[in-house]
Structure 1
Amino acid sequence: MIRRALRWLLVTFYAFAGIMHLSKPEPFLSIMPGYVPVPEAMVFWTGVAELLGAAALVQPWSKQIRKAGAIGLALYAICVFLANIHHFALDMARENGGLGLAYHIPRMIAQPVLVWLALWVGGVTDWPCRRRPQ
């Protein structure tokens, strides 16, 4: 029950993020590290990845597709972590402090949680919810 509810929450989160990447790419382009080639394409394909991952998590036909989507979203969250760090550094360097630590610190903490959550709701791992055999 909890896993299903959190799966739908994660699906909603990634579907919304994917739609935003595709429909309003400007905020994502503004935080893209300078070393990323063709930032417009990167933002587009990250939006596509989010939508495909969300669709894989919610589809009812195949546990293997659900697991593949979960692994894909976990890897995605790891890959975009550098962009989040870059955004943190850019924001904190502004005179007004940008969005501030109250936004960035929870976001940094949430990133590994998103990795684990994708794997857990996708059925890739049961850790830490599985009971130890006795």
Structure 2
Amino acid sequence: MHLVNPGFFLKIMPPYFPLHDELVFVSGVFEILLGGLLLIPRFSHPAAWGIMILLIAVFPANIYLYQHQEILPAPPIIHLLRLPLQGVFILWAYWHTRTASGNGQVHGLEVDASREKLD
């Protein structure tokens, strides 16, 4: 929606951020790119880290929206619940960075546990 309806995202940009149009566009491109990379096992781990960074980077916009609820008329509880929901999304992305244990796979790749380390 960053690319389709940037007006909404421009409204929730804190005024202390520069280059509002550019930041909305770049965040939308990164959402699409990182979301697509999550589907490719080889790239899912770095994509998940990128998503966590992106979610942290856009969090000030969520705080700004909470502070200026007139931007998006909704019950105050909705605006309040958006804030911890961002944490849930970060934890969900973090789940994709974790190494599988006990099943012989690391990020979708087979691991041969019998191989010795080279010293």
Query: What TM-score, normalized by structure 2, do the two folds share?
Result: 0.77
Count of aligned pairs: 101
Q: 2:61 corresponds to which letter in structure 1?
A: A
Q: Distance in 1 between matches of 2:98 and 2:75?
A: 34
Q: Distance in 2 between matches of 1:54 and 1:80?
A: 16
1:125 aligns with 2:104: no
2:54 aligned residue: 76
Identity across the alignment (%): 33
Q: Distance in 2 between matches of 1:106 and 1:32?
A: 19
Which deviations, in whole Å up to 9, do the C-alpha atoms of 1:2-29 show, x marking residues without a partner? xxxxxxxxxxxxxxxxxx1011100000
1:115 aligned residue: 90
Which deviations, in whole Å up to 9, do the C-alpha atoms of 1:21-46 show, x marking residues without a partner? 01110000011111111100000000
CA RMSD of aligned residues (A): 2.1
Structure 2: which 5+ runs fail to align? 102-119
Q: Could you list the runs of 4 or more consecutive aligned residues of structure 1 that deviate by over 2 angstroms after TM superposition? A: none
Which deviations, in whole Å up to 9, do the C-alpha atoms of 1:94-123 show, x marking residues without a partner? 4xx932222112211111111110111x2x
Larger radius of gyration: 2
Query: Greater relative contact order (Cα 8 A, min sep 6): structure 1 or 2?
Result: 1
Q: More helix by proportion, 1 or 2?
A: 1
Secondary structure of the corresponding residue to residue 16 of structure 2: coil
* Structure 1 residue corresponding to 2:26, chosen from 45, 54, 66: 45
Structure 1: which 5+ runs fail to align? 1-19
Q: Distance in 1 between matches of 2:98 and 2:44?
A: 12
